[in-house]
Amino acid sequence: MQQILDGIQSGASSDDFAHLTIPESYRAVHVLKSEQDMWAGVASKDKDPRKSLHVGEVSTPELAPDEVYVAVMASSINFNTVWTSIFEPISTFGALARLGRESTWAARHDLPYHVVGSDASGVVLRVGSAVRNWKPGDRVTVHCNHVDDQDPSAHDDSMLAANQRIWGYETNFGGLADLAVVKANALMPKPAHLTWEEAAVNALCNSTSYRMIVSSNGANMKQGDVVLVWGATGGIGAYATQYVLNGGGIPVCVVSSPDKAAILRKMGVEHIIDRAAADYHFFDENGVHDETEWRRLGKDIRGLCGEDPDIVFEHPGRSTFGASMYVVKRGGTVVTCAATSGFMMEFDNRFFWMRLKRLIGSHFANYKEAWEANRLISKGMIHPVLSQVFPLEQTGEAAYQVHHNVHEGKIGVLALAPSEGLGVTDHELRATVADQLTWFRR
Ligand code: NDP
């Protein structure tokens, strides 16, 4: 690995990279199939990723013709790594087994360990024989849509592909490692003005928010739309807020502390609700929805911007979903991609049908959407929301912080990068967005 790192840092040529020896094993963050029942009977909040995420050597798999090896400089924590580490809602080994049954190449994924991680920035080391657009030495970021392009269902919107998966969550060989195995159709150019760790945190959350807010597959926001953003300084919320601001929308941002509200003010957000201070109780003590609290939220939103939201960016799930469906404007859209607080959701259908509202389910992004979202990062129009950086050895601690919601924005993880601050090649563009790059930094 040292040879690879030396090559990256000395700006070696494509030919030099192509001749580097690929190591037979590499350092990777993984969970073990033998431990998938370790949390039986333990409450979710007490399941500790520091105990289930291991860092150790794993064997390098053979490269399929449509894949590349990426030397990973940095990666990030996504909530899906938390889900994997607490084996909720189900163990990811079932997904690896199902993938393993699809083809000879896919069988490599079905292992007694799962290398996790759905983001990466780094350098292409080797390309498979069918790869045409990328070469060794290319600096890349990786998006996490894993699709089989021989499947006809993948050729309209690839997120509708029958066997669409999330790389590093429903596949093996993910990004929280020194080396990753990536399909060539998941590569994107690394934004030149960003460090490795800044470049590594965007693809999953940024692309997800792009699809939800901007894309015609999502809410397709127009200028002037009022958008209620839950978790507005969290991983996806922080990008969603930027898309609303950039696109001429009016964000109404919900967070749970004055510190998070202060970040939003730096970003230029005017309308902020501190849900902890407001102390909403959308359910009564018997777990029954309390419509008066939905009304109170609606009144608070009107008090801030004078209108009901055209769009609600929904992901907390059970705890907020009924309220989101209630407060969205007549004819408005709730777009949802998650259910952090619980999957079984309820809402009052009368306010849905009689007010002609729409509900859109959304999941990650297709290649085109991810590419457009990456392009906006590369142009300095959307910014990474990196708050902290951990070494790979401390991935468990980083995941623990996300699990317990004591982080802001995104947490980066250094893999091969020996320190923070490396990898910038466009210093001129960087200087123009220097302030924005500090919004979330602790
Ligand atoms: P984060 O933990 O970074 O942010 C989530 C935010 O949601 C928190 O900052 C918190 O903000 C808010 N939140 C948490 N619980 C509640 C609650 N009960 N009520 C109201 N707000 C709450 O996670 P991400 O943003 O990275 O991901 C959010 C969810 O989206 C996860 O479940 C994740 O798995 C999912 N996801 C789905 C994707 C997809 O493609 N389908 C892609 C990416 C993420 P605060 O406390 O400040 O209010």
CB-ligand 1 contact for 402 (6 Å cutoff): yes
For the chain, the farthest-separated pair of C-alpha atoms sits apart, in whole angstroms, at 67
> Ligand 1: which of 274, 405, 406, 407 to mutate, judged by most atoms within 8 Å of the beta carbon?
405
Ligand 1 atom closest to Cα of 318?
A: 18
The pTM of the full predicted model, rounded to 2 decimals, is 0.97
- Residue 1 confidence (pLDDT): 85
Per-residue buried b or exposed e for 250-286, using 16+ beta carbons within 10 Å of the residue's own CB = bbbbbbbeeebbebbeebebebbbebeeeebebeeee
Assess whether the C-beta atom of 211 lies below 6 angstroms from ligand 1.
no
Q: If DSSP codes are grouped into helix, strand and coil, which group holds residue 291?
A: helix
Chain-centroid distance of CA 187 in Å reads: 15
Average pLDDT over residues 44-57: 97
How does pLDDT run across 291-345, given as a tens digit for each residue? Answer: 999 999 999 999 999 999 999 999 999 999 999 999 999 999 999 999 999 999 9
pLDDT at 149 over 90: no
pLDDT digits (tens, 9 = 90+) for 233-282: 999 999 999 999 999 999 999 999 999 999 999 999 999 999 999 999 99
Strands (E), 275-354: 311-314, 333-336
* Residue 230 CA, closest ligand 1 atom number: 21
Among 212, 236, 273, name the best residue to mutate to test ligand 1's pocket (greatest count of ligand atoms within 8 A of Cβ): 236
CA 136 – ligand 1 centroid, Å:
36
Report H helices in 75-193: 79-85, 93-100
Q: What is the mean pLDDT of the chain?
A: 97
- Ligand 1 center from residue 234 Cα (angstroms): 6
